Structures are given as structure tokens and as C-alpha cells.
Amino acid sequence: MKKCREVIIYNIVPEKEVEFLAIKEKLLEEAHTIEGLISSKTEASIKTKYRYMDMMVWENEEASILGFEVFKSLPSTGKFMSVLMGPPVFQDKFTF
């Protein structure tokens, strides 16, 4: 089975950037306990301040679907969602 790369874009509330950085670190730690997650990388936009992109690599597409369900119940997910300007946008999934 091919691995799955998932690309997610989100914007954070400007006044909550420091809080975001602290929460994001904890959330990544929790996310790496999700079965099927191989790696995760967060990058900041060069052109749009407070916009970030996560690239998640999963064992396969099914793992990414199941992993999202687990992600919603992680202890830090609620805090993470509270610093976003809106819901994250799932851009696409890619196989490799």
C-alpha cells in the first residue's frame, strides 16, 4: 500500500500566536501516538502572516481517515481549535 501525505492549511488568531506555538508542540506530541502516523511537519506561510500548513505522512489513506477521528479526541485538540480563526482546510491527500 502507498503512503499518504495530507496537507492542511489553517489561520490562527493573531493575538494568540504565542499560545498557538505552545499548544502546537503539545498537540504534535499527542498526535505521534496515533497509529499509522509516520511524521508531521508544520510550516509558516511566507506570504500570509498567521497562516500555517501541516503536512502529515500516514502509512496509507485509511490510516489518515482513522487518525483524524482519533485526533478529534486528543487532550489538546480543543485548545488548538480555540486559537484558530476558523476550521482547518484539508487541501488534499497525495500518495507516494
pLDDT on residue 1:
81
15 vs 32: CA distance, rounded Å: 27
Task: Return the SS3 of 28.
Answer: helix
pLDDT on residue 45:
98
pLDDT on residue 57:
98
Burial class (CB in 10 A: 0-12, 13-18, 19+), 27: buried
27 vs 34: CA distance, rounded Å: 11
pLDDT on residue 4:
98
58 vs 67: CA distance, rounded Å: 9
All domains of the chain, ordered by start, with CATH?
Answer: 4-95 (3.30.70.100)
24 vs 2: CA distance, rounded Å: 28
35 vs 84: CA distance, rounded Å: 25
Enter the pTM of the model: 0.91
C-alpha cell at 15: 493575538
pLDDT on residue 42:
96
Q: Flag residues of the chain having pLDDT under 50.
A: none
